[in-house]
Amino acid sequence: MFEQAKDKVDEAIGAGQEQFGKATRSPEHEVKGKVRQQLARGSYAVDDFVDTVKQQTKSAPLASLAVAAGIGFVLAKVIGRK
């Protein structure tokens, strides 16, 4: 929960930095603000995905175990080939 709040704050700071760059005609600040916004949005999406996976794992542990075993098997086959 704290991470999501931090991401929202970073997104707002990025928006402010982008506007500052536009106001001062500084492409460097403008780009840094855009990048900071996108990183915060990406981090927020990853945190949301992780929370969803945790909830699904708690609600259906056997299905989650079967999926993890299947992924491990496929990765072992792909990586094990020479």
**pLDDT-derived band of residue 73, with 50, 70 and 90 as boundaries?**
very high
The pTM score is 0.60
R_g of the chain computed on alpha carbons: 20
Report d(CA 8, CA 6) in Å as an integer.
5
- Per the model's pLDDT, the better-predicted residue between 81 and 35 turns out to be 35
Q: In the predicted model, is pLDDT for residue 59 greater than 80?
A: yes
pLDDT tens-digit series, residues 20-49: 888 999 889 899 999 999 998 888 888 888
pLDDT the model gives residue 78: 92
